[in-house]
Amino acid sequence: MQQVLYFYEGECEEKLLKFLKHKEIIKSGKTKKFNLWQDKIKQLKRLLPRRRKSELYFLIDTDKLANIQLFKDNLENLKQHNICLIVQYKNLEDELSYICDQTRTELFSEFNACNKDEFTSKFIKASNLQSKLNSCDFSKIWSRGTDFMQKNSIEISKNCKYRL
Amino acid sequence: MIFLKLKIDNLYMFKGAEFDFTYPKKIRNSTIEGEFLTDFPKINYKKVCILMGANASGKTSLGKLMCSINNYLLGREVDGIPKTIYDKNKNASVEITYITQEAKNIHQLTINFNQESLVSEIYKSNKLKKTYNLEKTLSKLDDSSPKFLYNKENKHNIENPGFKSVAYSMGYELCKKDAIWNYKYSDFENSNKLDVQTHNINILESILKSFDNSISSVNAVTESEKNIDIVKFFNGDEVLIENGKILNPDRFSRGTIESIEITDFINFITAGAGGTFFLDEKMAYSHSEIEISILNLIIEKLKSNSQFFYTTHNYDVLEMNLPSHSYIFMKKDSFVEAIHPEKLGYTKNDRSLLGFVKNDVFGTLPNTDKIESLL
């Protein structure tokens, strides 16, 4: 069985990845916290599988482009691995709004949240994610793409086959 | 100090055993940074040595012997030696080649013991040269004359040296007095004691929470005169760590207790300067993922001119993205033998050694026939 690793930036994404794995929308795989914009992959490289067939998925936000050079350096360091960037259109709330066909406010109110911080906190703690995201179409998640990669001359996304 | 080579004869189960802690060629994009002396980059030494082998293959004994060597080099009595001599009727010997990076010297010390005391001591030392590579440095050392010699003919008026270095007592600085080392052995239970001197609450909290996800917080009690940390669980339970001692360790799982000692070890590495660090099967109760994650943390935190020795039985450690020279396999048939995979041609660093080990290429798998015979 090929090893699959998902790297997420924040706890909300971790929660969503676990939910999607459980729902068998995406492949099973290990999840690890890692932010390509902030952290150095060199520090984690010893833990990455050597097998080229292993699949490494990085779920990234594109609304706050922090340190583009570090981001590029990290990708350079990952060259010999089979990696795929799962690019969120802006951020998680925006993705959820899109796939659930709700405005941001409607999404927040689904979680009894008044603002982004409250939503984040309640999303992480939610024990009934299934019921709250019941009407969402997960086939649309991360499907829109952005021009972020083209704009930054990033050519990476060899094998994005994380969906089941 | 940095261990470069070690030859051991007639001690524990070592008979003519040779350990090589050097490697010939730097690896491009190595996952271990700074595997060479900072001031002498042509001197490649193994910064990380993962010792693997079956039970009773000499891993702990090696650590104990290396610790004795560290003490011996500082002029201390190593009176535990006689009981570790295998054939009591013969002399035991150790030859150690090492570097003292502060003094910028390479040394070679050959010592012979019998049951009664030190029998002979040959000490060589050369200044390191930036233009010399490792091979030339070692060859020049081999060719050099001893700086000091102790034997029957050269007693220096010392009739009974005991188990102490005569060279040291004659004024030779074998090693810097402030050399740093830390050895933690699997058979030495010290898990419920945290060294408060190097105590870092953030490391403690992150590690404890990784081991036990029912821990909600770890905080220092600031209003107490004593040094107290309080570990709180989500269900309201609390564990107090007072002056480093866990007051009610029963609340922790075995692995979590073990993690306290690991925390101590990591604190020691991060707080001090470079040194020799030996961690012997201290994560036997840990989940494999945690063990590997902590191992990665330790490697990342190692200062330059440090050396880290780690013993484990965990196969997953072989899957780590480390150079093949970082692994040393130990096997014991009649006596202990050290196997260096990189010397046998296993130098493909993009490939795991796991398959080779599982196929018993190095002959390191234990024989389980006797267990199967019970079926």
Residues B297, B250 share a domain: no
Residues B196, B76 share a domain: no
**pLDDT value of position A29:** 93
Closest approach of A67 to chain B, Cα-based (Å): 22
Residues A18-36: pLDDT tens digits? 999 999 999 999 999 999 9
Q: Of B229, B249, B272, which one is at a domain's C-terminal end?
A: B272
Residues B206-245: pLDDT tens digits? 999 999 999 999 998 887 777 788 999 999 999 998 877 8
Binary contact (B322, A50; C-beta < 8 A): no
Residues B339, B306 share a domain: yes
Which residue has tokens 């190593």?
B78
Residues B132, B16 share a domain: yes
Ranges of H-type helices in B2-122: 59-73, 81-84
Residues A66-98: pLDDT tens digits? 788 999 999 999 988 889 999 888 889 999 999
In the predicted structure, residue B101 carries a pLDDT above the cut 60? yes
Residue of A nearest to B349 (CA): A50
Residues B42-75: pLDDT tens digits? 999 999 999 999 999 999 999 999 999 999 999 9
In the predicted structure, residue A141 carries a pLDDT above the cut 70? yes
pLDDT level of residue B178 (50, 70, 90 thresholds): confident
Averaged over B335-346, what is the pLDDT?
93
**N-term to C-term CA, chain A:** 15
Do the beta carbons of residue B274 and residue B38 sit within 8 Å?
no
Binary contact (A45, B320; C-beta < 8 A): no
Q: Of B272, B289, B309, which one is at a domain's C-terminal end?
A: B272
In the predicted structure, residue B198 carries a pLDDT above the cut 70? no
Contacts of B31 in chain A (CB under 8 A): 42, 45-46
Residues B291, B202 share a domain: no
d(CA A136, CA B72): 70
Burial class (CB in 10 A: 0-12, 13-18, 19+), A32: middle
Q: Give the DSSP H or E segment for B246.
A: strand B245-246
> Number of A:B CB contacts under 8 A?
30
pLDDT level of residue A157 (50, 70, 90 thresholds): low
Averaged over B23-44, what is the pLDDT?
92
In the predicted structure, residue B131 carries a pLDDT above the cut 60? yes
Q: Of B251, B272, B293, which one is at a domain's C-terminal end?
A: B272
pLDDT level of residue B85 (50, 70, 90 thresholds): very high
Binary contact (A50, B292; C-beta < 8 A): no
Residues B295-330: pLDDT tens digits? 999 999 999 999 999 999 999 999 999 999 999 999
Note whether residue B185 is domain-resident: no
Note whether residue B335 is domain-resident: yes
Ranges of H-type helices in chain A: 11-22, 68-77, 92-99, 104-110, 116-125, 129-132, 148-151
Q: Please choose, from the candidates B324, B183, B199, the residue with its C-alpha nearest in 3D space to the C-alpha of residue B260.
A: B199
Q: What residues contact A21, with CB distance under 8 A and at least 6 apart?
A: A27, A28, A29
Contacts of B350 in chain A (CB under 8 A): 50, 80
Binary contact (B351, A49; C-beta < 8 A): no
Which domain range does residue B43 map to? 1-180+274-375
Contacts of A47 in chain B (CB under 8 A): 292-293, 296, 320-321
Note whether residue B121 is domain-resident: yes
pLDDT level of residue B193 (50, 70, 90 thresholds): very low
Q: Total domain count for chain B?
A: 2
